[in-house]
Structure 1
Amino acid sequence: MNWALVAGLGTLLAASLAGALGVRRILQQRQRRAGQTIAQDNDPNSLEQLLTAAGEPAGVEILDRILRALAHQAATDERALPTLRGVLLAGKEVRLLLDESADPVAPFTAGPDSRTWTLDPVAVLPDAEMLNDVEAPYPGLVTLGAHEDGLLLADLTTCHVLLLDGTPEEVLEVGRALALELGTSGWTDYSEILTAGLGSRLAKLLPQGRIRTMPHLPAVAADLGELLLEAHQSGEQVLPWLMIGVGDHDQEHLAQLADALAAARNLKTAVVLPASEAAQRVFPHAEIIDVTTGQEALLAPLGLPVTLQRITDEQYRQYVHVLQISTQDPVPATGSWEFAESHDQAAACGRPLTLRSTTADAQDPGNPFPALIAASPATTPQP
Structure 2
Amino acid sequence: MRIPARRTVGDVFAGLGALVVLVALVGGVPYALLSFVGPPIAAELLDVDLLFNQVGPSTIVAVLVLLVWLAWLQLFACVVVEVYAGVRRVGMPARVPLSSGTQALANRLVSAVLLLFTAGAVAVPIARLGTPAPAAPPMTAVAYSAPVVEQVLETQRTKKVYVVQPPHGRHHESLWEIAEKCLGDGRRYPEIFRLNQHKEQPDGARLRMADLIRPGWVLDMPDDARNVHAVPVTQARAQTLREHPGKAATTGRVADKAEQTVKEELGKRQRGQEGESRRGAGDTKAEPGTGRATDESRAADQGGLDLVDYLAGASLAAAGLLAALGRRRREQLWRRAFGRRVVRPRDDAASAEVALRLGADAPGTRILDVGLRLLGTELAAQGRTPPIVYAAHLSARNLDLWIHPPDGDAPAPWTVQDGGQVWRLHAHEGRLLTESPQGGAPYPGLVSLGTDAGGRVLVDLEAAQGLINIRGRQTTAALAALAVELATNRWSDRMRITLVGFGEELTAIAPDRVRAVGGLAEVLPELEATAAPRQQVLTGRVTGSPRVAHYLLSSVTPTHDEARRLALLARRDTAGYVVAGDVPHATWTLEITDDGKAKIAELGFEVTAQLLPRRHYQALVDLFRTAGRHDGEPMSQVRPLEDLHPPEVEIRLLGPVEISGLDPLEEGRMGLAAEMLVYLATHPGGVHPAVLGGVLWPRGVQAMVRDATIARVADWVGPEHLLVDDAGRLSLGPRVRTDWTLFRELVRRAERDPTARILLLEKALGLVRGPLLSGRPHGRYAWLAADDLEYDVSAGVADAARRLCEMRLEQGAPEAAVSAVRAALLLAADDEALWRDLLRATHATGDPARLHAVVDALTGPPRFGAYGGGLAPETEALIDELLPTWRIHVVRESTA
1:206 correspondence with 2:513 = no
Sequence identity of aligned pairs in percent?
25
Give distance in 2, aligned partners of 1:300 and 1:286.
10
Q: Which amino acid aligns with 2:617?
A: Y
Deviation of residue 51 (structure 1)? 0.7
- In the other structure, the counterpart of 1:180 is 484
1:73-222 map, 5 Å: 73-103=378-408, 104-120=410-426, 123=429, 126-128=433-435, 131-159=436-464, 160-167=466-473, 170-203=474-507, 205-207=508-510, 209-222=512-525
CA spacing shift, 1:300–1:84, aligned 2, 3 Å: farther
Per-residue deviation, 1:122: 6.6
The residue number in structure 1 matching 2:323 is 19
Against the structure 1 CA distance between its residues 292 and 332, is the aligned structure 2 distance closer, same or farther, given a 3 Å change threshold?
closer
- Residue 549 (structure 2) pairs with residue 240 (structure 1): yes
For residue 344 of structure 2, the aligned residue among 21, 40, 60 is: 40
**Aligned match for 2:334, one of 26, 30, 33:** 30
Over 3 Å counting, the alpha-carbon distance change for 1:241 and 1:73 in structure 2 is same
Structure with greater proportional helix content = 2
Q: Which residue of 2 aligns with 1:49?
A: 354
Shift of 1:24: 1.3
How far residue 75 of structure 1 moved from its aligned partner, in angstroms, is 1.3
Q: The residue matched to 2:458 in structure 1 has which SS?
A: strand
- Higher RCO, 1 vs 2 (CA within 8 Å, ≥6 residues apart): 1
- State the shift of 1:21 in Å: 1.7
The equivalent of 2:559 in structure 1 is 250
TM-score by length of 2: 0.35
Question: 1:2-17 counterparts in 2 under 5 A?
Answer: 7-8=309-310, 9-17=313-321
1:324 has 2:625 as partner: yes
Pairwise mapping of residues 346-361 of structure 1 onto structure 2 (< 5 A)?
none
Distance 1:20 1:312 in 2: 20
**Which secondary structure does the structure 1 equivalent of 2:439 belong to?**
coil
Task: Spell out structure 1 runs of 4+ moving beyond 6 A.
Answer: 336-339, 341-349
Greater shift, 29-38 or 53-62, is seen at: 29-38
Partner in structure 2 of residue 66 of structure 1: 371
In structure 1, what is the equivalent of residue 616 of structure 2?
Answer: 315
Query: SS at the partner of 1:195?
Result: strand
Task: Supply the distance in 2 between the matched residues of 1:108 and 1:42 (Cα, whole angstroms).
Answer: 44
Query: How many residue pairs end up in the alignment?
Result: 332
Cα offsets for 1:178-203 (capped at 9, x unmatched): 01100000122222221111221221
Cα deviations by residue, 1:98-137 (Å, 9 ceiling, x for unpaired): 1211122222111134311122567476521xx2121101
Matched-pair contact (CA < 8 Å) for 1:20–1:208:
no
Pick aligned residue for 1:296 from 574, 597, 605: 597
Report the secondary structure of 1:188's partner residue. Answer: coil
Q: 1:241-261: CA deviations, max 9, x gaps? A: 211111333223333433444
**Runs of 5+ unmatched residues, structure 2:** 1-131, 133-199, 201-235, 237-306, 639-746, 752-798, 812-896
On the 8 A contact 1:165/1:171 being kept in 2, the answer is yes
Structure 1 counterpart SS, 2:579: strand
Q: Distance in 1 between matches of 2:439 and 2:494?
A: 11
Q: Which amino acid aligns with 2:524?
A: A
**Alpha carbons 2:450, 2:456 under 8 Å: kept:** yes
Q: Identify if the C-alpha distance between structure 1 residues 147 and 256 changes in structure 2 by more than 3 Å, giving closer, same or farther.
A: same
What's the RMSD between the two structures over aligned residues? Answer: 3.2
> SS where residue 530 of structure 2 aligns?
helix
The residue number in structure 2 matching 1:366 is none
CA contact (8 A) 2:403 2:422 kept: yes
Secondary structure of the corresponding residue to residue 506 of structure 2: helix
Specify the SS of the correspondent of 2:424: strand
For the residues of structure 2 that align with 1:121 and 1:201, how far apart are their CA atoms?
36
Q: Which has the larger radius of gyration?
A: 2
Q: Gapped runs of 5+ residues in structure 1?
A: 350-383
| Native 8 Å contact 1:85 1:301 kept in 2 | no
Alignment partners' CA distance in 2, 1:293 and 1:113: 37
